Amino acid sequence: MNRRQFFGATGGCGCNFFFQAGQGGRGQAPLGAEAFENVGTKVRITGIKTFGVTLPVAEQRDRPYTFVKIETNQGVVGWGEGTLEGKAAATIHCIEDFKEFLIGADPMLVEHHWQSMYVHSFYRAGPVIGSAMAAIDQALWDIRGKILNMPVYQMLGGAYDPEGVRGYYHVRASTPVEMREVRAKAKELGVTAIKGGIPGYYEWIETRESIRRAVKSVETLRANLGDEIDIGIDFHAKTSPSVASILCKEMEPLKLMFIEEPCPPENVRAMQRIAARSKVPIATGERLVAAYNCRELIELGIIDILQTDINHVGGITALWKAAALAEISGVRMAPHACEGPIGGMATLHVDAAMPNFMVQEICSGVVAGEKEKIWQEWFGFPAMRMVNGKFPLPTKPGLGFELREQDVAKFKFAGTRAMARVFHADGSVAAW
């Protein structure tokens, strides 16, 4: 029964239609698959494996990776990532819940599967559902590219820059000497952008001393990195609208690339007040899920830069839609990426085809650390490391890499780890 027939038969009453949601058995095609028998392919999803991966690296404590491998009856497999900081086990279980949506289905119907997971979850996706969907969606695009023998960015319209995608590293320096070392290394690598933050945690109304300390830290960063490097500053929603407005105003002379998350992104009107009081470009979006959650920020002209994260927003499908929504309103894209390498590499494909792409984050320093060495062992190349200031684009089909189960399985899942919990001196909860 099609939609028109359905509404005619029910007289407009949707009383019973969603109660079929759990009836699809895993040994057969999922509900709704029969409609595509004559228009899809004969490729079928036969298995979905989830890997919780805990690296022995201090900076990864709160974000054990969540990887997904989707298998098909044609031997083509796809990999994806749904790492969610502080909620790893919940995401893994959510992926398990989605298996009955997918086992026995045609993996080429990527948009259909995205819609089914999103709409048939009934309660609109938050970060757990969004991250589970992201892992599955990335893996489906990986399969789609491999079957069509094309990198994902070519399926999205082709790359704007064959040299790759401009990126930035995190500053990871606390003294002027260390900052100048970062500057020298960045120049050597051709890196043209760096991101830093502001020190400490902030009350709703702050002292002049606290304000001055934050401004001074960014002034020191600018002085030691020089004018040739673009600098983004992440407030990480630690500041109230009143404090953020003061900081943004006082940082205007530093000509920053952007100020990120001056307040929580769900507080749209507060962010609007901050943006109206400042000439510094405002960026946000890493905590948003699906293009729908970005709409108000974009339509009201509040933000200059959107930073949705492929591992949380809902995968390649959702990141592409968010970018398209931003593009028609003159908003640039600078996607967030602070989890594992699969999501990072998947993001590069979307970046490459965006007409409104600006710069890509990776939560790494200009000098590769222990996690980057592990990534290189997994993939056989330096994943998410820039060459001449850009992330090179893959040339192989799909997401452009191969990965062996046994390599990631060496790092056993050690369970969910909470994100930082910080408090003000009086015991009240502090944002970080």
pLDDT tens by residue, 250-268 = 999 999 999 999 998 888 9
Pairing state of beta strands 305-306 and 332-333?
parallel
Burial class (CB in 10 A: 0-12, 13-18, 19+), 412: exposed
Quick one: what percent of the chain has pLDDT higher than 90? Answer: 84
> How far is the C-alpha of 391 from the C-alpha of 350, rounded, in Å?
13
Q: pLDDT band for position 69 (50/70/90)?
A: very high
- When pLDDT is cut at 50, 70 and 90, the band that residue 33 belongs to is confident
Residue 160 pLDDT exceeds 50: yes
Q: Which residue has the higher pLDDT, 235 or 24?
A: 235
- Torsion sign over Cα 309, 313, 319, 321: negative
Residue 300 DSSP symbol: T
Q: Tell me what pLDDT residue 7 has.
A: 33
Domain boundaries, the chain: 19-149, 154-403
What's 35's DSSP letter?
G
Is pLDDT above 60 for 4?
A: no
* pLDDT for the residue 48: 98
What is the arithmetic mean of pLDDT over 207-216? 96
Alpha carbons 123 and 129: distance in angstroms, whole number: 10
Given CA atoms 287, 18, 138, 408 in this order, what sign does their dihedral have? positive
Instruction: Report the distance separating Cα 233 and Cα 242, nearest Å.
Output: 17
* Residue 35 banded pLDDT, cuts 50, 70, 90: confident
Position 38 scores a pLDDT of: 84
For residues 244 and 236, what is the distance between their CA atoms, to the nearest angstrom? Answer: 11
Average pLDDT on 403-421 reads 93
List Cα–Cα distances, 151 to 44, 74, 110, 155, 394, in angstroms.
21, 19, 15, 7, 7
Mean per-residue pLDDT, 88-109? 97
Question: How confident is the model at residue 62, as a pLDDT?
Answer: 84
pLDDT grade for 409, boundaries at 50, 70 and 90: very high
With vertex at residue 152, the alpha carbon angle to CA 324 and CA 136, rounded to the nearest 5 degrees, is 85
Residue 407 predicted with pLDDT over 50: yes
At 230 the pLDDT is 98
245: phi > 0 → left, psi -120 to 50 → alpha, else beta; which? alpha
Q: Do domains 19-149 and 154-403 have the same CATH topology?
A: no
Mean pLDDT of the chain: 91
Q: What is the 3-state secondary structure (H, E, C) of 57-102?
A: CHHHCCCCEEEEEEEECCCCEEEEECCCCCCHHHHHHHHHHCHHHH
> What is the model's pLDDT at position 209?
95
Average confidence (pLDDT) over 52-73:
92
| Alpha-carbon dihedral sign for residues 354, 357, 363, 368 | positive
Residue 6 has pLDDT above 90, yes or no: no
Confidence of residue 22 (pLDDT cuts 50, 70, 90): very low
The CATH number of the domain covering residues in 19-149 = 3.30.390.10
Band (pLDDT 50/70/90 cuts) for residue 27 is: low
CATH superfamily of domain region 154-403: Enolase-like C-terminal domain (3.20.20.120)
Q: Find out whether 235 and 262 touch, Cβ atoms under 8 Å.
A: yes
- The widest CA-to-CA distance across the chain, in whole angstroms, is 74
Q: Tell me the C-alpha distance between 212 and 127, whole Å.
A: 35
| Cβ atoms 282, 304 nearer than 8 A | yes
13 or 278: whose pLDDT is higher?
A: 278
For the annotated catalytic residues, the residue numbers are: 236, 336
Residues 126-151: b if buried by 16+ CB within 10 A, e if exposed: ebbbbbbbbbbbbbbbbbbbbbeebb
What separation in angstroms does the CA of 36 have from each of 31, 108, 171, 245, 306?
11, 11, 50, 53, 35
Mean pLDDT of 227-256: 96
Res 224 pLDDT > 80: yes
**For range 55-74, the mean pLDDT:** 91
- pLDDT band at residue 227 under the 50/70/90 scheme: very high
First-to-last CA distance in the chain? 51
Q: How far apart are CA 285 and CA 297, in angstroms?
A: 9
pLDDT at residue 50 is higher than 90: yes
Quick one: pLDDT band at residue 241, thresholds 50, 70, 90? very high
Q: What pLDDT was estimated at residue 192?
A: 97
Three-point CA angle 154, 157, 162, nearest 5°: 60
Answer yes or no: is pLDDT of 57 > 90. Answer: no
pLDDT at 51 over 80: yes
pLDDT band for 14, please (50, 70, 90 cuts): very low
Answer whether residue 10 shows pLDDT above 90.
Answer: no
Cα 98 from Cα 93, distance rounded (Å)? 9
pLDDT (mean) for 383-394: 96
Over residues 317-338, mean pLDDT: 97
Cα–Cα distance for residue pair 356/370, rounded to 1 Å: 33
